[in-house]
Amino acid sequence: MFIPIHIGIADVIDILVVAVLLYTATAWLKRTRAAFIIRGIFILAAFYIVVRYLDLQLTAWIFQGFIAIFLIIIVVIFQEELRQIFERIAVWGLGTGEARPLRSDTADILVRTVSDLAKDKIGALIVVQGKDPIARHIMGGIELEGKVSEPLVKSIFDPHSPGHDGAVLVEQDRISRFAAHLPLSKDNRQLVNVGTRHSAALGLAELSDAFCIVVSEEKGKISVARDSRLRQANGVQELASWLQKFLQQKYPSPERRRISISLLRENWVAKVATFFLAVGLWYVLVPGSKPVEATYRLPIEVLNLPADYRLEEVQPSEVSATFTGPSRAFYFFDPSKLKVIIDASVPNLGRRTFRISEQNIRHPKDLTLQQVNPSTLRISVRKASGDEGSRG
C-alpha cells in the first residue's frame, strides 16, 4: 500500500540526527568485541522483515512475543558499551573532566624512555589516556601528579621499585598514578606467548580509547594496545608514529576539525548505509504511526459444505470492507489474501442468510474492521441427487 509522504525541515533534521547517532554507535561498537553480535541482531531484524512480508503469522507472533526478552538480552550483552556511551555523554554535557592532549615534548620523552627500557629489557606498562574516562577500570595504585620525565619513569619501573609491576597513568603532561592494576583481557587469540602486562594493556584498550604501551621484560619488545588490538611495534620510530597518530585523532587541530570533502568520503559506505537506515526507520515509525483508512473488495469463500449439498449461488459474490489502523500496519500487508469465510457446515435447504462479522474476516491484528457493506449475504444450496453424488 502506498502512503503519501510529506517531509518538512524538521523531518530532515530528525533523519540527519538519527543517522549521525547510528553511525556513531556503529563506529563505537565496531572496535569492540560486540561487533559480531551486532551483525547477528541485524540478521534477525532482516529475517523478521521477510517473515512479515511472507505473512508467516505464527513465526511473526513468536518474534513479537520475545521482543521484551531480546531487549533485556541486548542490555546485558552491551552493558559495558552502554556505560561507556553514557560516560561520554556526561563528559560532553558537563564540559569538564575530559583529558587534554600531551605536548609534543612530553610525547618525545615517553618514546625515548620506552626505547631505553626496551634496550635494557625492563618491563613497563604506560597508559596514555584518551577521551574516555578510565577511573572505574583502574584498581589500586598510588597518586603521584608528577611531571613526565625520563628519570621519574625509569625510577618507577626500576626492578627494585615496589611499584614496577603496575601501570603508569599519563594524563595531559603528568603522571597521575603509578603501580595501578588494569583489567585483564580474555582474548586468548591475541595473547599467545605474551605476559600479564600485555593482557592488562589489551584489557583496558577493550574498555576505553586509551593508548597503552607495553615493554616486554623477557624480549625487550615494544607493543601497543589500542581499540581492542594488540600490535608489536617494529622499532621506536613506529611507536612514535602510532602515538602521534593517536594524538592527532583524539585531539585534532582547529584546521582538522573543519568539515571537508575528505571527511565525508571517509567510511562513506557505512555513512550511506546508516543514512538510509535512518530514512527507513523514519518512514516506518513517523508516517507509520499516523492513522490510515483503507477499503478493499473481498471475495466470498464458503467452507465445510456437506458432501451431499451443492452450492448454487452466493449473493453478493464479494463485499466491501473498510479497515483502519496505523499506516505501518499496511506496509507488509497483502490485501489479496483477505476474504470472507463462511462456515456452511449445517446448511438449510434453499437459501440461507449469514451476517458478516469480524470473525468471518482474517486480517492483521493491528487493523480494525470498521465497516462491511453489505453486512449480510445469502447462499443458495440444494441437496445433490444420487447421480450427482456418485459422479462427485
Give the pLDDT confidence score for residue 271 in this predicted structure.
Answer: 79
pLDDT tier, 119 (very low <50, low <70, confident <90, very high otherwise): very high
Cβ count near 374 (within 10 Å):
11
Arithmetic mean of pLDDT, 330-336: 75
As a whole number, the mean pLDDT across the chain is 79
Reported as type and span, the H/E element at residue 61 is helix 57-65
Do the strands 211-215 and 174-180 form a parallel or antiparallel pair, or are they unpaired? Answer: unpaired
CATH of the domain at 305: 2.170.120.30
Establish if 217 belongs to a structural domain: yes
Give the pLDDT confidence score for residue 330 in this predicted structure.
Answer: 75
Contact 232, 240 (CB under 8 A): no
Question: Among residues 123, 126, 132, which one has the least CA distance to residue 239?
Answer: 126
* Co-location of 125 and 239 in the same domain: yes
* Co-location of 310 and 183 in the same domain: no
Question: Among residues 385, 382, 310, 304, which one has the least CA distance to residue 346?
Answer: 304
In this model, does residue 156 exceed pLDDT 80?
yes
Contacts of 70 (CB under 8 A, 6+ apart): none
255 vs 83, more confident: 83
* Co-location of 348 and 378 in the same domain: yes
Arithmetic mean of pLDDT, 334-338: 83
Question: How many domains does the chain contain in total?
Answer: 3
Contact 226, 211 (CB under 8 A): yes
User: 352 - beta bridge partners?
Assistant: 379
Question: Grid coordinates 555513512 are at which residue?
Answer: 271
**Which pLDDT tens digit goes with each residue over 185-219?**
888 888 888 889 999 999 999 888 899 999 998 88
Give the pLDDT confidence score for residue 100 in this predicted structure.
Answer: 57
2 vs 41, more confident: 41
Contacts of 215 (CB under 8 A, 6+ apart): 114, 117, 118, 122, 123, 124, 125, 157, 197, 221, 222
* Co-location of 148 and 88 in the same domain: no
* Co-location of 324 and 386 in the same domain: yes
The distance in angstroms from the start CA to the end CA of the chain is: 42
Backbone φ and ψ of 216, nearest 5°: -75, 130
Establish if 261 belongs to a structural domain: no
* Co-location of 272 and 314 in the same domain: no
Cα 139 to the chain's mean position, in Å?
Answer: 30
Establish if 49 belongs to a structural domain: yes
Establish if 2 belongs to a structural domain: no
Containing domain of residue 326, as a range? Answer: 290-391
CATH of the domain at 225: 3.40.1700.10
Arithmetic mean of pLDDT, 129-143: 86
Give the pLDDT confidence score for residue 349 in this predicted structure.
Answer: 54
List C-alpha distances in Å: 281 to 14, 15, 27, 276, 364. Answer: 11, 9, 19, 9, 21
* Co-location of 126 and 244 in the same domain: yes
